[in-house]
Structure 1
Amino acid sequence: MTMTLQVAYPVTEGTTFDYDYYFDTHMKMVEEHMGAHIAEAFASRGVSGPPGQPAPFHAIATMKFADQAALNEALGASGPVMADIPNFTNSEPQVMVGHIG
C-alpha cells in the first residue's frame, strides 16, 4: 500500500520560518538522507487559507513511499533532517502518516 508522510509547520503567534533555508538547504537534506526511500516529494509554502484568511501553515512537505517498509527506512534515516528543524523555524511541526486510498 502506498504510504505518505506529511510534515506541516503551523503558523502560531510568534513563530518564524526561513523559507530560503527550508527550500534551499533543508529539502536537500531530506533528499540526501531519506531520498533513496522516497518515491515522490514536494513542499508547498503557505499563501492563504480560505478567502480573506491567512495561511494556517508556513509550509507543508509531502513525501510518498511505495510501502510501509520504505517509509520505515526513511524514518530510520531522518535523524539529521529532524535535527535541522530549529535552523529554519521555531514552529512545532505536525506529522501525519497516511496511505493513499
Structure 2
Amino acid sequence: MIKVSVMYPNGPETTFDVDYYKNSHLPMIAAAVGDALKGIELNIGLGGRIPGELAPYVAIAHLTFDSVASFQSSFGPHAATFAEDIPNYTNVVGELQISEIV
C-alpha cells in the first residue's frame, strides 16, 4: 500500500479555499481515479512548532493506493485536468510525495 501526499506550503501570502478543495477538487479526483483510490484524508494546518507560528503547510491531502503503478495508471491520464483546477483553490504549488505505508 502506498500513500500519495500533496502538501501545500503555507506563508503570509498563501490563499487556500478549504471548502472548494474538500467539496470540489478532491471529489473530482476520487471520481476520475475510481476504485484505484483506496482512501483519502485531508489535514488543514493549524500551527507550527512555536505557539502562534503558521503551520508549515496550509493543507495536506493523503491518498492511498495499492501500488505506485496503480496510482500512476489511474492518476496520470487526468493529471492535466487536476492541475488546471489548482487556481480555483490556491495560489501555491503543492509538493507531492509518494510513500510506502509500513
TM-score when normalising by structure 1: 0.87
- Equivalent residue number for residue 78 of structure 1: 78
User: Given that residues 34 and 77 in structure 1 are in contact (C-alpha distance below 8 angstroms), is that contact kept between their aligned partners in structure 2?
Assistant: no
2:96 is matched with 95
Given the two structures, how large is their TM-score scaled by the length of structure 2?
0.87
In angstroms, what is the RMSD of aligned CA positions?
1.5
Q: Which residues of structure 1 form unaligned runs of 5+?
A: none
Residue 51 (structure 1) shift:
4.4
Percent of pairs with identical residues: 30
Structure 1 distance, partners of 2:61, 2:13, is 21
Deviations 1:26-52 (A, max 9, x none): 111111112321111111111112240
Q: Structure 2 CA distance, aligned partners of 1:51 and 1:69?
A: 39
List alignment gaps of at least 5 residues for structure 2. Answer: none
Q: Which residue of 1 aligns with 2:59?
A: 59
